Amino acid sequence: MIMKNLYRTPFTFIQCPNVELKKPSWIRKSSNNTVLFGLHVSYFLVTAGVIYDIIIEPPSVRSTTDAYGHHKPIAFMA
Protein backbone atom coordinates (compact mmCIF):
# COMPACT_ATOMS: atom_id res chain seq x y z
CA MET A 1 0.00 0.00 0.00
CA ILE A 2 2.81 2.39 0.86
CA MET A 3 4.71 1.60 -2.34
CA LYS A 4 1.55 1.94 -4.40
CA ASN A 5 0.95 5.41 -3.01
CA LEU A 6 4.61 6.29 -3.47
CA TYR A 7 4.49 5.35 -7.16
CA ARG A 8 1.14 7.09 -7.66
CA THR A 9 2.25 10.41 -6.11
CA PRO A 10 4.17 11.89 -9.09
CA PHE A 11 1.31 11.08 -11.46
CA THR A 12 -1.19 13.09 -9.45
CA PHE A 13 0.29 16.33 -10.76
CA ILE A 14 2.21 15.13 -13.87
CA GLN A 15 0.24 13.96 -16.87
CA CYS A 16 1.97 11.48 -19.18
CA PRO A 17 1.88 12.46 -22.86
CA ASN A 18 -0.06 10.32 -25.29
CA VAL A 19 2.76 9.21 -27.60
CA GLU A 20 2.09 6.91 -30.51
CA LEU A 21 5.31 5.24 -31.58
CA LYS A 22 5.58 3.43 -34.90
CA LYS A 23 8.31 1.09 -36.03
CA PRO A 24 10.41 2.62 -38.84
CA SER A 25 9.64 1.11 -42.24
CA TRP A 26 13.29 0.22 -42.91
CA ILE A 27 13.48 -2.17 -39.92
CA ARG A 28 12.72 -5.74 -40.93
CA LYS A 29 12.69 -8.97 -38.97
CA SER A 30 15.96 -10.87 -39.42
CA SER A 31 15.92 -14.45 -40.55
CA ASN A 32 16.65 -17.17 -38.01
CA ASN A 33 19.90 -18.08 -39.76
CA THR A 34 21.15 -14.49 -39.57
CA VAL A 35 20.44 -14.31 -35.85
CA LEU A 36 22.14 -17.67 -35.25
CA PHE A 37 25.17 -16.59 -37.29
CA GLY A 38 25.48 -13.35 -35.28
CA LEU A 39 25.17 -15.30 -32.06
CA HIS A 40 27.96 -17.69 -33.07
CA VAL A 41 30.26 -14.88 -34.22
CA SER A 42 29.77 -12.90 -31.01
CA TYR A 43 30.29 -16.06 -28.92
CA PHE A 44 33.55 -16.77 -30.76
CA LEU A 45 34.79 -13.20 -30.30
CA VAL A 46 34.00 -13.26 -26.58
CA THR A 47 35.53 -16.68 -25.90
CA ALA A 48 38.62 -15.91 -27.99
CA GLY A 49 39.25 -12.81 -25.89
CA VAL A 50 39.01 -10.36 -28.77
CA ILE A 51 36.21 -8.34 -27.17
CA TYR A 52 38.07 -8.26 -23.84
CA ASP A 53 41.26 -7.02 -25.51
CA ILE A 54 39.43 -4.30 -27.38
CA ILE A 55 37.56 -3.04 -24.30
CA ILE A 56 40.34 -3.30 -21.70
CA GLU A 57 43.42 -2.55 -23.76
CA PRO A 58 43.19 -1.38 -27.36
CA PRO A 59 45.50 -3.60 -29.43
CA SER A 60 46.96 -0.83 -31.61
CA VAL A 61 48.15 1.41 -28.76
CA ARG A 62 50.88 0.31 -26.38
CA SER A 63 53.48 2.09 -24.29
CA THR A 64 57.13 1.51 -23.73
CA THR A 65 59.50 2.77 -21.07
CA ASP A 66 62.61 4.64 -22.16
CA ALA A 67 65.98 4.70 -20.39
CA TYR A 68 64.87 7.54 -18.10
CA GLY A 69 61.70 5.77 -16.92
CA HIS A 70 59.24 7.82 -18.95
CA HIS A 71 56.34 6.03 -20.63
CA LYS A 72 55.99 6.72 -24.34
CA PRO A 73 52.97 5.58 -26.37
CA ILE A 74 53.74 3.73 -29.59
CA ALA A 75 51.34 2.81 -32.35
CA PHE A 76 52.37 -0.81 -32.98
CA MET A 77 54.34 -3.37 -31.02
CA ALA A 78 56.81 -5.37 -33.10
| DSSP output for 5-45 | HHHHTHHHH-PPP-------TT--PPPHHHHHHHHHHHHHH
- Report field, pTM of the whole predicted structure over 0.95: no
Domain coordinates in residue numbering, the chain? 31-77
| Cα–Cα distance, 53 to 44 (Å, whole number) | 13
- As beta bridge partners, residue 63 has 73
Query: pLDDT for 3-49, tens place per residue?
Result: 888 888 888 888 888 889 898 899 899 999 999 999 999 999 888 88
pLDDT of 60 = 62
- Cα 41 to Cα 43: distance, rounded to the nearest angstrom: 5
